[in-house]
Amino acid sequence: MKKSYKIDVDCAVCADKMEQAAKKTAGVKDACVNFMTLKMNVEFDEGADSRAVMEDVRKNCRRADSDCEIFI
């Protein structure tokens, strides 16, 4: 399953940090952050609870960049 989320991030480097943090999160098959559109596209592992996984993604992204936000 793939979903798109609106994000708030200050720069392209921070967006890349968010993408890398999301990709390392359990339950995420792939993630892509587009700084220009301020969107994160996430593909989840089969059978993963997308809401719970996104809470973990949010936590991991906050560790990488404390100013970022993902609107779930």
List pLDDT tens digits, range 22-61: 999 999 999 999 999 999 999 999 999 999 999 999 999 9
pTM: 0.92
pLDDT confidence of residue 68: 93
Which residues are within 8 A (CB) of 56 and not within 5 positions of it... i.e. 6 or more apart? 25, 26, 27
Report the distance separating Cα 52 and Cα 20, nearest Å: 18
Residues 6+ apart with CB under 8 A from 13: none
Q: Phi, psi (5° rounding) for residue 55? A: -65, -40
The conformational region for residue 57 under phi > 0 = left, psi -120 to 50 = alpha, else beta, is alpha
Per-domain boundaries in the chain: 2-71
CATH class of 2-71: alpha beta
